[in-house]
Structure 1
Amino acid sequence: MTIHFHKVDLPAGLDLGKRVAIDTETLGLSLVRDPLCLVQLSAGDGDAHIVQLDRTSYDCPNLKALLADEGVEKILHFARFDVAMIARDLGVTLRPVFCTKIASKLARTYTDRHGLKDVAREIAGVELSKQQQSSDWGAGDISEAQLKYAADDVLYLHQIRDGLEAMLIREGRLEMARACFSFLPTRAALDLAGWADADIFAHS
């Protein structure tokens, strides 16, 4: 495994293929208050690329071009949050998306444990550490432990995606999952507009 750390933007000409695993690190979990700090990516080849963003401008044309490319499938876990953060701070709508958390909830109905740690353990056979989950991602210097944590969040998503897709096909739920994935930009827009906790489909 190699972790490639990039300041501000991805290098020009980097080809990560037609399926890219993506995750983000933010200063906190508020869509109103907390800025986007890092974006990490993997082509599923055992390497991770981590971009520390310039939060004064978010000027990262190479990264934005990749994220905006609708010929590239973006694989994320709990994509709802990342799609919203990327739309808000980078001005990019992610599509198409494969969300492994939604896929897990639709396929793994025998459990209520759908966090990345649990899904990675079952589907990919790896044990992920979450020790750095609450660390300071806005710091100027990112530690080796933080880089390892950030990389782990994308390194296994291709394998998890494929395992969950097979389960969705087996249970006849793949088209339902795809419809949910397609709705994610709208769900993120609702979150950003203030309807994060409201069920607009409810009768009451």
Structure 2
Amino acid sequence: MARQLDYPTIREIFTRFQAAEPEPQGELEHVNAFTLVVAVALSAQATDKGVNKATRGLFAVADTPQKMLDLGLDALTDHVKSIGLYRQKAKNVMKLSQILVDDYGGEVPNSRAALQSLPGVGRKTANVVLNMWWAHPAQAVDTHIFRVGNRTGIAPGKDVDQVERRIEDHVPADFQRHAHHWLILHGRYTCVARKPKCAACLIRDLCGFEDKTL
């Protein structure tokens, strides 16, 4: 774990991220808030690519909670069987669809507490939906962001909650909206787990990682 970087260094890091990718986008395919919730819930312990492959056909026939209920558990399960833990995830999607129909008029709520009350939706999922759909400056810390936060010194922390708080506390406000996407993309494609691509890294001179690769 690198030590916490200072404010000017973090501002310069995100200035570079922004210059390289002004409007970073999440990679999960969706057409509305409901399909985003479903996609993110399905993505736990799975790749975005794998989820997208499974949900293209699913969302073509079930892009609302009521349509998902009408589709039924068996058909939903068949659509997502290529995804890890698909049986439990399919059950959660059916349960959350029923709750959305019964309690929210078929609409996805835009509060973290309400989202987290849905089956299969944790804090990370809720934060992704708040950030991507409603443009809230919410920080969804996954394994990539946890690694980048600790390795670089942008947001070191012993657990995901601490890393989330340190991103909120140390990343300048004008970068909060896209911080989670810049960090996840950096971790996914450059600051990878086993052999980080330090030679190609646009923040290598600012990063606190001591064991940089050549």
Structure with more of its chain in strand, by fraction:
1
Give the greater-gyration-radius structure (CA).
2
* TM-score of the aligned structures, taking structure 1 as reference length: 0.28
